[in-house]
Structures are given as structure tokens and as C-alpha cells.
Amino acid sequence: MTTRQSTHPVAAQFLDRSSPRAFSGKKLTAQDIETIVEGARWAPSASNKQPWHFAYSINGDANWQAFSTIPNEFNRRWCLNAGALLVVLSDKQSATHSFDTGCAWGYLALQAHAMGLATHAMAGIELDAARQVLQLDDNWKVECLVAIGERGDKSSLPADLAEREVPSPRKPLSEILSAGPLA
């Protein structure tokens, strides 16, 4: 249950989804990841090009150590307790690759939420490490890394991060919406 309040009635998933840093450490299964990415798979994209790819490692599997080099120092403090790490890639050969892949990430986050799991996207990553671990050619843009898993207790976090473990607010609608041109 959320403490967030919307100014207009929206589906509960939009208020209830949030990005924790406390994860329980419970490993996800390949089936969990496949179901979560199935959500992303049904996102709309320009000309239905689906210019995205998702590469994952489950906590402790053969690729985990390599994936652990992808988050930056700040994110490494908390995200290695996630059940899995997943890298979101977009294919630059499509003009709308980032827009489309952003939508797919949103679907992924909501699918995970519907399964009782949490996601936390990270732009704070070591880009060279990501490109090397995933052996990417120049067509792929690394969009972000996502921690996925069961929520943990915020007391498991360092004090400065535990303090920040609260649902975030949003700008008022009036600031992001205009009938006609921007004021």
C-alpha cells in the first residue's frame, strides 16, 4: 500500500510501484525474468521494430561476478542484494530506439510490480564494463541497468540509504501539462 496521493483517479499500480534500494537477496528464477520481460515484449514501438534487448544475470549465477562490475560505486552499495540484474539495451538503427525502449522498461517495471517484485533502474553504471561484459557492437546503446527482486527491510541498508527509502513525490500536473503551447 502506498502513501502516495494522485490528484486524479489512476490505476493503483502507478502509485504503488516504487524503486526500493533494499532487496532481500532472494534469487529470482529464469521463469520470473522471462515473465517480467514478457511484459516489456508487448510495449508499442515505431513500426513495431521492438528495438530493445534485455541481458540478465541471476544473483550468484555464472555471470553474476561480471554483471557486478556494471553498477557504479554508489549503486554497488545496494544493488548487489537484488535477485537479478538486467541490462536494458536499445538498437540505434531505429530512430526512436530510446523512446521505444523507455516504454518497454516501463512495462517491465509494472509487470514485475504485478508479480509482487520490485525494480530499480540505474543510469549510474560503468559503461565500458557493460559493453565489455555483454560484448556489444556499436549498434547497441546501453540505456540502464535494472535491479529486480523481492523487497528487503530498509534496516539492511547503510543509514544514509535507509533514510532515502521513502516513496518519492511528483511535480504537479500543471507543471507538466499544457492545453496548447507551453506558458
Interface with ligand FMN (CB under 6 A): 18-19, 75, 121-124, 144, 168
Q: Which residues pair with 87 in a beta bridge?
A: 55, 145
Judged by CB, which is closer to ligand FMN: 142, or 144?
A: 144
Query: Measured from the CB of residue 47, what is the shortest distance to ligand FMN in angstroms?
Result: 24
Cβ density class 58-72: b for 16+ within 10 Å, e for less: bbeeeeeeebbebbb
Query: Measured from the CB of residue 88, what is the shortest distance to ligand FMN in angstroms?
Result: 9
Q: Which residues contact 88 (CB under 8 A, 6 or more apart)?
A: 52, 54, 101, 104, 105, 108, 121, 142, 143, 144, 145, 146
Judged by CB, which is closer to ligand FMN: 22, or 122?
A: 122
Query: Measured from the CB of residue 180, what is the shortest distance to ligand FMN in angstroms?
Result: 28
Judged by CB, which is closer to ligand FMN: 155, or 168?
A: 168
Which residue of this chain has its Cβ atom nearest to ligand FMN in the complex?
Answer: 124
Q: Within 10 A of 154 (CB to CB), how many other CB atoms are there?
A: 16
Query: Measured from the CB of residue 72, what is the shortest distance to ligand FMN in angstroms?
Result: 7
Judged by CB, which is closer to ligand FMN: 19, or 24?
A: 19
Where in 4-135 does DSSP place strands (E)? 52-58, 84-91, 118-122
